[in-house]
Each structure stands twice: as structure tokens, then as C-alpha cells.
Structure 1
Amino acid sequence: MAITTNNLKVIYGGAAFNTSYGSNPETVTEVLQFLRREGITSIDSGQAYGDSESLLGRAKAASLGFSLDTKVAGGLWPHVNHTKDVVIKAGEDSVKALGVDQVDVYYIHAPDRKVPVKETLEGINELYRAGKFKRFGLSNFNPAETAEVIRIAEENAFVLPTVYQGNYNAAGRLAEKELLPLLRKHNIAFYAYSPIAGGYLTKTPEDINSGKGRFSRDLPAFGAMYNSLYNTPKKLSFLTEFGKIASENSISQAELGYRWVAYHSALTPENGDGIIIGSRLGAQLTNTLNWLKKGPLSAEAAQKVNDLSKIIEGEEILDNWNDYISKKR
């Protein structure tokens, strides 16, 4: 049973499974059972997502019929050098925590620029040879780094990346310029995370200026980053026009964002692409799935969203990692 009318893959973001958010094996099982009923059978987790992996393992997600993806933290953990041995141990720990012998996709969550790429890839390749994962993925690598990984993997007969997980939404389309053409050239599927730009696309300029949600100045980790990336005159103007399009079509801004990514972006099921949703169980998750089931926007609405890119020309971002986090280190 497909969620989207075009059969674009839908993956559930397992970062939502975390005891700091109130999760436990029972609540995780409840979400998993709901997802199964809706036809979603792929869960994305990661070493950097707190206890997400162990919660999925304790809930026996694999036994419930779910395909599991996970990630070695890579550059997200600046205190760790991702050498061959470190990567191997991380992979072994992840599959053990998840309660499986093998995951579907094993990603490097972000490039560790402190360590030679080849050394990190040696660890990835050993895990692949040991059968710990089926497919190798990259996340948050810029186009040049992605090309370097492909080159080194080819030169050394290492496993090649076949999935890329990246930021992609109506206000974040920089991937279309260099990254996506590179991925298409090498037959690498694209899984889009942050389809509503971390909540930015659901806000009004007034919400942002008043510090609503992740734009709160009281959130040291998120507030400074989201205001730096999105609280600019161009981005606020974009948001005003985005809100007008949603209003004209009698839908919410969140629905407009999700349906644009699923049906009017560069993602295609033929290339194996997918969309990652992170809504938690309840009305938010139900609404997200119902929006995706509705199919494409009107041609006029889709074109209006496409045209908004002109407003933020020169301020497009690739992702939070490349455009903010890594620059602060």
C-alpha cells in the first residue's frame, strides 16, 4: 500500500524515538503498529539520535517487518576521529542495538573532515564485507565531497554509495544545482529530509520574529542556527508569499510544503527517491500522511511555489550542517 499516489517512497524518521521526548518501547511499538497499518515499513535511525537505535531494538522493529537504516555519526561528533576501527565498532554497535544482523542502508551522517576519506571508507567497506548492511549511504556531504567518496571507492574497489540523504524542500533547493545531477550520474537515490525546513515553512514572519518554535532565542542549539539561516528579509518575504499560496488553495503551509516535495520537486520514484517524515504519533502524523495521500497540487499552485525560488536567490542553503554547524567549529 503506497502513501503517495506516485509511489514515492516514504520513510519514517526514527530521531523521534528518544527517551528525552518521552519514548519507551511501548510507545515506539504503538507508532510502529500505526505505521505498518499505513503501509510505511522503513525506519531511519542513527548513532547521533540518542537512544533511538536501542528503543527500536527493544521494540523489536525488525520482527514487526520494518526495514531499518542507520548512520555512523561522522562529523556530527567532533570529539571522535572516524578512523577505520572506530567506524567498524560503531557499525557493530548499531546493528546490535537495533537487534538485527544487517541494516538496509548504513550512512555516514556527515563528513568527518579531520580524517582522510579513504580511512573512513575502509571501515565502511569492512562492515559491508561482514554483511552488516545492504546499501551504503551518504548524508550532508557537499557535491565535491560526494564526488571524492565515489572516486576513492571506485579506485579501491570499495562499496559505492547508492543512497544520499539530504535536506530538500520548497525553500531549500540548492541540491538541484550540483548535487542531484551528480547523484543521477552515478545512480544514487535521494532521500529528502526536512520537507518543511525544520518548521520554517509552517511559520509566518511574525512567528519567526517573535521566536516561535525552533526560532526561540532561548533554545541555544536551535535558536541561533534557525534564525541565522532563515530570519533574513528575503526568507521572510518568501514565507509571506508561501503563506498566500497556501491560503489561496485553502490548505495549510505544512500541507503545501509536503505535497510540493512529494509531487512537484526533482524527486522521482523511478530513481528510487524517497521522503523522510518526522512527525510524531497523533494528529501531526495523521495529517502528514493524509496530505501525502491527496496527490499533486494544482498546476498553478505548484508553479507559484517554484517561482518563489527567485525571492531567495543567493541565500539558498544545502543543509544545516554545511551552512551553519560546520562553520561554527
Structure 2
Amino acid sequence: MEYVKLGRTGLDVSRICLGCMGFGVPQPGFHQWVLSEEESRKVIRQALDLGINFFDTANVYSAGTSEEFVGRALKDLARRDQIVLATKVHGRMHEGPNGAGLSRKAILSEVDRSLKRLGTDYIDLYQIHRWDYGTPIEETMEALHDVVRAGKVRYLGASAMRAYQFLKALNAADRHGWTRFVSMQNHLNLIYREEEREMLPLCQEEGIGVIPYSPLAGGRLTRDWSETTARERSDQVLHQKYDASADADRPIVERLADLAARRGVPRAQIGLAWLLQKAPVTAPIVGATRSSHLDDAVAALSVKLSAEEVALLEEPYVPHRIVGYQ
């Protein structure tokens, strides 16, 4: 396993992050393909055995049960000071007023609930899951600064927003002397590269670590175009992300398959190797639900693509509509 600093911090993270959205109790209106606690624990144990120290979940994943599964597994299987544990806040956690968003009330309530579910005294990386159009960014940033000062959170991160919004948040923190975001968790893979236009250059300039989600486009980069899975048949979010661009994406997926065949490696390794070579990517978030997912992710660290291979994979890309945030 390779380890790198997260942005300009001194925090060491593995170059592969285990995404934990696939763990939890199935919930109405959320993913039905999630793993049970027993199966989740097997994946977490394998990740630890492979040297992965970076784990990402969210309060909203399976109504908090992802946090519960992850917290119990890591408490039993790892030393807390060797683990980098990340979670998020924004999604709706209860009906009625103040059940979602990034108000001071929501943040101060939800950070305590996440700590309880995770079974820990502190969160290493606390991330805002989306932009809250109903709350002034100054209110959000001050509340986040306060949870850092209280010792409940070590670092702050953001996810899935426009570059101008992220810059507004960074500027608000700088103006008031509040804790800055150190990472951006955004949507980035070979068939969705819109973040290259503004967000990646901004993160490079500001020293922000980039931890992309959906690095393999929900599996679409890993199999034949006509092949489907149980997740793909039931995951409406996946369809919202990629169905509209399917015709444009197919040539990229086919080039990736050809290159993987020539290299004699699984397609997932090529897809991740492309992402790992892209600055300023720190650690792709791999949503592993099978042992082979983690094996391929770690093996991708040894796959080095030439400039010609990168150009071959990138050449068919055309602009896509924005998906992942509003």
C-alpha cells in the first residue's frame, strides 16, 4: 500500500479509500443492494489486511446503519489512532424542520449522532455532503469550525458542488480565521470528467486533496457494455448519472476494455490507474462489496499508464451535463 498526505495537511492516508455506502440495512427509498453487517465486516477486514487506513461513510447511508456497521467493525479490528475515519453531513435524517442541511442546529446535532453511531470520540474528516442553498455559508463554516475546536472533528472536507461555491467556503474560512476545508470528494471517472474544467485546477491551486467518488462509474467501466448487475438494475442514482450519456460513453468503455486485454489486467485496474495518475487526486473512493473489488483497487497502484495510453482513453470524451449536484 502507498500512503500520501491529504492535501497540504500532515495526515497520512492510503491511496485507496474504502467507500462504505454499500454497507447497512436496506431502507425504503435508498439502496437495496447493501451488504449485511457480517458481509460488511469481511470487506473491512480485507481492506485493513491490504493496508487501507482510509474509510468513508455518511450519516445518510442506509439511515445511519452504515456508520454503525463501520464503527463496530473498526473498533474490533483496528487501532483507532491508525485509522482515518470520514463521514458526512447534509442529507435528511428525520422528517420535519431541521432534519437536513447545514444549519448550525443540524451540524451540531448530527455530529453527535454520527459520533454515537461510529462509537468513537472524534471523526478524522467531517465533510459537507452537498451545498445547502438555504443556509449562509458563514453559518455553516462557523459551526464546522466549532466542532473542530471542540475536539469532535480533526479535519474538514467538502463534496459535490460547483467550484465557485467551494471557493466561497474557503474564502469565508480565511476571512474569519475558521478551519478550512482540506479535501474535495467529487464525481470523477473516465466517463465523467467535467470536474477537470474548474474544480481540479482550483483544488491544485489551493492545496486541496481530491478523493473522487464513483471512480469506476458504478461498475460501467469494469464489464462489457451489454452486461448488467443486480445493482445496476435497482440503483436509480446510477441511471441518473450515466444513462443520458450512454452513447457517448460507449467508445471510451470499449477502448478501456481493449487496453486492459492488451495489458492482461482487469478493466477495473485500468480505470483506477487512469484516475490515480491525475493531479491532484489523492485517493479514489472504491465502493467495494466483493473481495475482488479491493484486490483490483490495490493492484491498480502498480499499473502505470503511458502518456499515449492516457491520450487513447481520453480522446473520445465529449462534454457531459452536470450530474451529482445542483
Structure 1 length normalisation: TM-score?
Answer: 0.81
> Which residue of 181, 184, 189 corresponds with 1:164?
184
The 1-side partners of 2:237 and 2:93 are apart by: 13
> Is 1:256–2:274 an aligned residue pair?
no
Give the alignment's Cα RMSD to 1 decimal. 2.8
Q: Deviations over 1:34-77 (max 9, x none)?
A: 22221111211111112111112223438712221111125899
> Partner of 2:30 in structure 1?
none
The 2-side partners of 1:274 and 1:287 are apart by: 14
Alpha-carbon distance change, 142 to 76 in structure 1, aligned in 2, over 3 angstroms: farther
The 1-side partners of 2:76 and 2:156 are apart by: 19
Alpha-carbon distance change, 63 to 212 in structure 1, aligned in 2, over 3 angstroms: closer
Deviates more, 1:293-302 or 1:158-167: 293-302
Q: Quote how far apart the aligned CAs of 1:245 are.
A: 2.7
> Partner of 2:90 in structure 1?
73
Alpha-carbon distance change, 213 to 3 in structure 1, aligned in 2, over 3 angstroms: farther
Alpha-carbon distance change, 206 to 10 in structure 1, aligned in 2, over 3 angstroms: closer
Alpha-carbon distance change, 122 to 95 in structure 1, aligned in 2, over 3 angstroms: same
Q: Within 5 Å, which residues of 2 pair with 1:272-291?
A: 273-289=282-298, 291=299
> Partner of 1:227 in structure 2?
243
User: Sequence identity, in percent?
Assistant: 24
Q: Quote how far apart the aligned CAs of 1:294 are.
A: 2.9
* Alignment coverage as a number of residue pairs: 303
> Partner of 1:32 in structure 2?
44
Deviates more, 1:137-146 or 1:174-183: 174-183
> Partner of 2:145 in structure 1?
125
Alpha carbons 2:20, 2:57 under 8 Å: kept: yes
The 1-side partners of 2:74 and 2:269 are apart by: 32
The 2-side partners of 1:62 and 1:9 are apart by: 23
Unpaired runs of at least 5, structure 2: 5-12, 27-33
> Partner of 1:295 in structure 2?
303
The 1-side partners of 2:175 and 2:110 are apart by: 25
Instruction: Tell me the SS of whatever aligns to 1:303.
Output: helix
Q: Quote how far apart the aligned CAs of 1:297 are.
A: 2.8
The 2-side partners of 1:222 and 1:298 are apart by: 30
1:286 maps to amino acid? D
1:69 maps to amino acid? A
Alpha carbons 1:215, 1:226 under 8 Å: kept: no
> Partner of 1:104 in structure 2?
124
Q: Deviations over 1:171-212 (max 9, x none)?
A: 2222222112211222211112221112222244434xxx66
Instruction: Tell me the SS of whatever aligns to 1:251.
Output: coil
Q: Within 5 Å, which residues of 2 pair with 1:8-47?
A: 9-20=15-26, 21-24=34-37, 26-47=38-59
> Partner of 1:315 in structure 2?
320
Q: Quote how far apart the aligned CAs of 1:156 are.
A: 2.1
1:73 maps to amino acid? H
Q: Deviations over 1:120-152 (max 9, x none)?
A: 223212211111111100000210110110111
1:226 maps to amino acid? Y
Q: Quote how far apart the aligned CAs of 1:9 are.
A: 1.9
Alpha-carbon distance change, 61 to 141 in structure 1, aligned in 2, over 3 angstroms: farther
> Is 1:49–2:61 an aligned residue pair?
yes
> Is 1:185–2:172 an aligned residue pair?
no
> Which residue of 83, 102, 112 corresponds with 1:92?
112
Alpha-carbon distance change, 27 to 252 in structure 1, aligned in 2, over 3 angstroms: closer
Alpha-carbon distance change, 183 to 3 in structure 1, aligned in 2, over 3 angstroms: closer
Alpha carbons 1:176, 1:266 under 8 Å: kept: no
Q: Quote how far apart the aligned CAs of 1:239 are.
A: 2.6
Alpha carbons 1:72, 1:87 under 8 Å: kept: yes
Alpha-carbon distance change, 297 to 3 in structure 1, aligned in 2, over 3 angstroms: farther
Instruction: Tell me the SS of whatever aligns to 2:184.
Output: strand
Instruction: Tell me the SS of whatever aligns to 2:185.
Output: strand
Unpaired runs of at least 5, structure 1: none
